[in-house]
Amino acid sequence: MNKGFNSFGVIGGDKRQLYCARALSDDGYMVSLGGFDSVKEMRNIEVTTPFEAALMSEIIILPLPSLGSDGKIPAPFSKGNIELTPDLLTAMKGKRVFCGFADKLRKAVPAPGAEIFDYYEREEFAVANAVVTAEGAISLAMINFEGTINGSKCLVLGYGRIGKALTDMLTSLGARLTVSARKPQDLAWIRSKGATAVKFSKLYELESFDIIFNTVPAPVLDSLLLAKLASKALVIDLASGKGGVDFYSAERMGIDTIHALSLPGKCAPKTAGEIVKNTIYHILEEEYR
């Protein structure tokens, strides 16, 4: 990848950032780590303060999201989150800063004097994380469902990125799979995978499932559909925000539900950190082509 850059400062964030730092170092770059007080040392990596990590590096990597609701860089491995002090901002001057949700950062620091890039808004980042999310969802199903995926009746709601990845994994594990989507072309893809394709409007015609994965961020599984499809099911909701399940009704009906958010960081921080690294590499490559 090398385009004349040699040094990366990884500042704040969770295990993903640690694995991102690890992967950068394994690729031969100089890496400084800031905002990880509880990490004492890491092979070939300079564990230091956010200020020094920024000062020593040409490229700075902030976590996803770059700023929390307190306006600070999240730092769960330190006693407190990291403030954007004038010193830290000075150390970032003239450098390339990569982060998730760049808008928050840009709003907080209107004239940062640094070039800010957002890895989170790259579609490749979303695709790679969808695969991680799908695998995380499947591991949740394996742990919480008392049978196997193999042979079980599964339903996936939505055929976006996560729905696509789930469809491939579940069919290949031998689930009896139904996938629900809206667009006719998605239904055609689903059928081609050997799964049963069902329009959302026809969901009420189906019978009960063993495991239901929702990926649609809209109230899809209301109390009526829950009663029809989920009376004996484990329901895993992967939709962001409020999710797509009427959790109140589900609880009343005794249906097991899991609202699983941010699976990549939780289930597979190593892969998630490598995805951050790869996305940053690709952005740099495109910059310097």
Of 15, 7, 136, nearest in space to 74 by CA? 15
Contact (CB, 8 A) for 66 and 104: yes
> CA 147, CA 113: separation in Å to the nearest integer?
56
* Binder of a copy of itself out of 6, 90, 139, 240 (CB under 8 A): 139
Among 11, 54, 62, 128, binds a copy of itself (CB under 8 A): 128
165 makes contact with a copy of itself (CB under 8 A): yes
Among 93, 151, 287, 288, binds a copy of itself (CB under 8 A): 151
Q: What's the min distance (Å) between Cβ of 13 and a copy of itself?
A: 15
Does 147 participate in binding a copy of itself (rule CB under 8 A)?
yes
- Verify binding: residue 184, a copy of itself, rule CB under 8 A: yes
135 binds a copy of itself (CB under 8 A): yes
Question: Which of 4, 38, 111, 146 lies at the binding interface for a copy of itself (CB under 8 A)?
Answer: 146
Footprint (CB under 8 A) of a copy of itself, residues 185-224: 185, 187-189, 191-194
Cβ 207 to a copy of itself shortest distance, Å:
14
C-beta of residue 212 within 8 angstroms of C-beta of residue 220: no
Give DSSP secondary structure letters for 171-185. HHTT-EEEEEESSHH
CB of 109 to a copy of itself, least distance (A): 28
First to last CA, the chain: 11
CA distances from 214 to 31, 151, 168, 210, 219 (A): 39, 20, 15, 13, 10
Q: Which of 38-46, 108-116, 183-191, 244-252 is the region at the interface with a copy of itself (rule: CB under 8 A)?
A: 183-191
Query: In 3-state terms, what secondary structure has residue 210?
Result: coil
Cβ burial of 259 (10 Å; 0-12, 13-18, 19+) is middle
Q: Which is nearer to a copy of itself, 19 or 36 (CB)?
A: 19
β-pairing, 7-11 vs 196-199, is unpaired
Where does this chain bind a copy of itself (CB under 8 A)? Answer: 15, 19, 122-124, 126-128, 131-132, 135-136, 138-139, 142-143, 145-152, 165, 168-169, 171-176, 183-185, 187-189, 191-194, 267-271, 274, 279, 282
